Amino acid sequence: MVVKEFFRQIAYILPEVKKPIKKVSLRDKFIWTGIVLVLYLVMGTIPLYGVAKGAQDPFKYARIIFASSKGSLLELGIGPIVTAGLIMQLLAGADIIRFDFSDPDDRAVFTAATKFLTVIVTIIEAGAFIIAGYIPPTNFTFPVISVIFTQLVVATIILMLLDELVQKGWGIGSGISLFIAVGVARRIFTNLFSTLIIKENDSQVPYGLVPFLVVKGFSGDWMSSLIRPFNRPSIVGFLATLATIFIILYAEGIRIEIPISMARYRGIRSVYPIKLLYVSNIPIILAFTLLTDMQMMSQILWATFNPSNSDPFFNLIIQMENKTVTGGLMYYLMPPQSYFDAIADPLRALTFIVMMIVMGIVFAVVWVEVGGLSPEKVSQQLIDSGMQIPGFRRRAYSISIILNKYIPVVTVIGGFFVGVIAGISQILGVFGGGMGILLMVDILMQYYQLLMREQIEEMYPALHRLIKV
């Protein structure tokens, strides 16, 4: 295929992290993971050179998803990496570009294609951010804009290589998962303990909930900590965070276990779990990615064709004042900034929640089909790995009949669940965002399983092959 051959040639010029020659010990993996984490945190503290300060952040609601930081080298975060990866997964899952993932050469081509597309998406997003005014230069000269553009592209490529370093076996798990989890944890810590002084209701108070409670405790004004303006850390937000964590942990434990056994060794039995959150957080990541891209494109259209809000057609899409969305379709698709905004405009809050639910269900159904999670593909995977369901013939068709009873149902329910969590928690001011909590819980559970597996493999090397199967 011409496209695959192109990507095969591109692989020779793309930067690459080599796989370790021998298995890296768990101790060394911790060290490499720590190094990657430190580099990520340092990049998030280095401001972009040539960018004016004090600009508003229209993508504040999505920064948790993309592990990005306003005004720093991580301005784009993992957004281009995630977007490129999802596009390639969709192309491969829909057989638009066919890859045989059992073939090492095809896997290498797929990786090269994803990296190449990441660079292309980075270039497009960096240009769009500058054109739309999300990253305002100190002055609009070609050298300054070129420097900002170069910083964004190089920083994202470095982030891509850090993720690849972890995934290639030098670290633990996935770099992208690590960045997201750390970003959410840092946001929660900041909301709880930040001593940054801000102006609120004509007084100077700490931003973090705990210092705020201490200050208000001495003045006897406890009630002001229940709900704070602009969804700043409050008691209601803290209680909503605890409730969200509990609900997600409970939902993660709901599953249907289908008994399976090895065809060659019938005494070896196990179960194939179909979780309530079968597609995990993928639907909402796709939804937020689409929402962010729609917002970016609509604001570029507004800045180009309707900066005075005088065109009736473009007003239907978006209206803005002082770089804040005030009307049009995009106004109702974006989340309210606080409880007060939701109460003042309940139609907007309801529209946003309904949209997140619909998109969660739609993307869950789509991802099951293109992500290799459909009953037909899962049954074939079980057959290929030497498994069968006891009492049924060892045929993919027989297994798919059983899986068809459960997978379509949990797909819709799971998409609905994550849509509700993402929509409502965004309005309630959950620390780290409902989507961030969902991602962090899921990632931490994956890391726990990975660590248990790594420890078992180090203690019992002979079991490595069996665990891999």
Look up tokens 């996935």; give the residue: 174
- pLDDT at position 263 is 65
Which of 285-289, 309-313, 462-466 is predicted with the least confidence, judged by mean pLDDT?
462-466
How does DSSP assign 178-208, residue by residue?
Answer: HHHHHHHHHHHHHHHH---EEEETTEEEESS
Residue 445 near residue 397 (C-beta atoms within 8 A): no
Residue 427, CA distances (Å) to 132, 285, 331, 334, 349 in order: 26, 18, 15, 11, 8
Residues 255 and 327 in one domain: yes
Length of the chain: 469
- pLDDT at position 32 is 92
- pLDDT at position 468 is 47
Work out the number of other CB atoms within 10 angstroms of the CB of residue 224: 17
Q: 240: domain CATH number? A: 1.10.3370.10
Residues 303 and 373 in one domain: yes
Sign, Cα dihedral of 154, 156, 160, 162: positive
pLDDT at residue 467 tops 50: no
pLDDT classification of 43: cutoffs 50, 70, 90: very high
Residue 59 near residue 292 (C-beta atoms within 8 A): yes
Residues 185 and 238 in one domain: no
336-354 exposure pattern, b = at least 16 Cβ within 10 A, e = fewer: bbbbebbeeeeebbebbbe
At which of 173, 194, 215 does a domain end? Answer: 194
**CA 164, CA 339: separation in Å to the nearest integer?**
40
The residues that bridge with 320 in the sheet, in sequence order, are 325
Which of 12-21, 42-51, 179-188, 368-377 is predicted with the least confidence, judged by mean pLDDT?
368-377
Q: Is the pTM of this model over 0.85?
A: no
Residue 177 near residue 448 (C-beta atoms within 8 A): no
At which of 185, 206, 231 does a domain end? Answer: 231
Look up tokens 């804040």; give the residue: 324
State the helix-helix crossing angle for 79-93 and 346-370, rounded to 10 degrees.
50
pLDDT classification of 264: cutoffs 50, 70, 90: low
Higher pLDDT, 207 or 257: 207
pLDDT tens for 58-67 read 777 778 878 8
Residue 76 near residue 155 (C-beta atoms within 8 A): yes
Mean pLDDT of the chain: 83
Give 251's contacts (C-beta < 8 A, 6+ positions apart): 276, 277, 417
Question: Which among 289, 292, 294, 299 is positioned nearest to 131, based on CA atoms?
Answer: 299
Residue 271, CA distances (Å) to 176, 195, 266, 394, 452 in order: 29, 49, 13, 16, 19
Residues 44 and 177 in one domain: yes
**CA 195, CA 331: separation in Å to the nearest integer?**
33
Residues 294 and 267 in one domain: yes
At which of 211, 231, 251 does a domain end? Answer: 231
Number of H helices, E strands in the chain: 19, 7
Residues 238 and 227 in one domain: no
The percent of residues in the chain predicted with pLDDT above 70, rounded, is: 93
Q: Looking at residue 20, what DSSP letter applies?
A: P
- Mean pLDDT over residues 198-216, rounded? 87
Give 162's contacts (C-beta < 8 A, 6+ positions apart): 36, 39, 40, 175
pLDDT tens for 390-445 read 767 777 777 888 888 888 999 999 999 888 888 888 788 788 877 788 888 888 88
Give 203's contacts (C-beta < 8 A, 6+ positions apart): none
- pLDDT at position 322 is 73
pLDDT classification of 105: cutoffs 50, 70, 90: confident
Q: What are the tokens at 112? A: 């090269």
pLDDT at residue 273 tops 90: no
Residues 378 and 466 in one domain: yes
- pLDDT at position 54 is 65
pLDDT tens for 355-389 read 989 988 988 888 887 777 888 888 888 787 777 77
Give 140's contacts (C-beta < 8 A, 6+ positions apart): none
**CA 82, CA 172: separation in Å to the nearest integer?**
19
Residues 260 and 311 in one domain: yes
Question: Which among 428, 396, 411, 390 is positioned nearest to 277, based on CA atoms?
Answer: 411
Residues 187 and 213 in one domain: no
Residues 177 and 226 in one domain: no
Domain that holds residue 127: 1-194
How does DSSP assign 214-248, residue by residue?
Answer: HHHHHHT-GGGGTS-GGG-S-HHHHHHHHHHHHHH
The residues that bridge with 325 in the sheet, in sequence order, are 320
- Mean pLDDT over residues 460-464, rounded? 56
**CA 300, CA 318: separation in Å to the nearest integer?**
10
Sign, Cα dihedral of 352, 320, 83, 29: negative
Q: Looking at residue 72, what DSSP letter applies?
A: B
Residues 27 and 174 in one domain: yes
Report CA Rg, the chain. 24
Residues 100 and 151 in one domain: yes
- pLDDT at position 354 is 92
| Domain count of the fold of the chain | 3
Q: What are the tokens at 388? A: 């069968």
